[in-house]
Amino acid sequence: MDNMMEKIVAYEEFLEDTEKMMEKAERLGDLIIIKDNKPVFQIFSVSKKVVRNEKDKEEWQGLGEEKRIKEESKFIGLTLKGAVLEVLDQSENKEMHVSEIADLIYSMKLYKKKDGSKAHYTQIRAMCGQHPEEFETLPRNRVKLKE
């Protein structure tokens, strides 16, 4: 738990000493930037692969250097919100069921949870409900991108 708390950084602190924060991200693997008591960014160090269990460790050690670099670059850069925005923006009518969104996000390698699994549809639905300025939550677990 201490390691998790160390990863949380205030937005103002990040801006004040960006170089120090990047070094911290390199050391810890990632940082979560908080603004107005809400997470707004997650910064990853692509030079580290966080090994969470023995299976991950075996798979990671079995990869060659070139494949390791490719694996490190997967799933980097998008928050869950960003991934949902991307999927809905690419959809024909800007509306989808949250389980379809979850499946597409994972198959397109836009976002994954820290344990490597895909985001559950309830997590996506809850996140969309927290951002009514960007998403319209519809009946039957459907979500629409606001224009």
CB 75 within 8 A of CB 110: yes
Query: What's the sign of the alpha-carbon dihedral 147, 141, 80, 75?
Result: negative
Do residues 68 and 8 both lie within one domain?
yes
Distance (Å, whole) CA 4 – CA 77 = 19
Which of 52, 73, 94 is the last residue in one of the domains?
A: 73
pLDDT for 45 beyond 60: yes
Pick the closest to residue 56 from 120, 119, 116, 106 (CA basis). Answer: 116
Same domain, 66 and 9: yes
In the predicted model, what is the mean pLDDT of residues 41-45?
A: 75
Q: CA-CA distances (angstroms) from residue 132 to 15, 81, 86, 96, 145?
A: 28, 12, 16, 16, 10
Mean pLDDT of 14-22: 84
67 and 86 share a domain? no
Looking at the structure, tell me whether residues 127 and 91 fall in a common domain. yes
In the chain, the number of structural domains is 2
Q: Which domain holds residue 102?
A: 80-145
Last residue of a domain, one of 28, 52, 73: 73
Domain boundary among 24, 44, 73: 73
Alpha-helical regions (H) of 63-118: 65-73, 80-90, 98-107
Residue with more model confidence, 18 or 54 = 18
Does residue 130 surpass a pLDDT of 90?
Answer: yes
Write down the pLDDT at residue 73: 43
Q: Is the pLDDT of residue 138 over 50?
A: yes
Question: How confident is the prediction for the chain on average, in pLDDT?
Answer: 77
User: Tens digits of per-residue pLDDT, 25-38?
Assistant: 888 877 888 888 77
Is there a single domain that holds both residue 85 and residue 65? no
| Chain segment 104-117, per-residue pLDDT in tens | 888 777 888 877 78
Same domain, residue pair 11 and 61: yes
One domain, residues 139 and 87: yes
Predicted confidence at residue 77, as pLDDT, reads 55
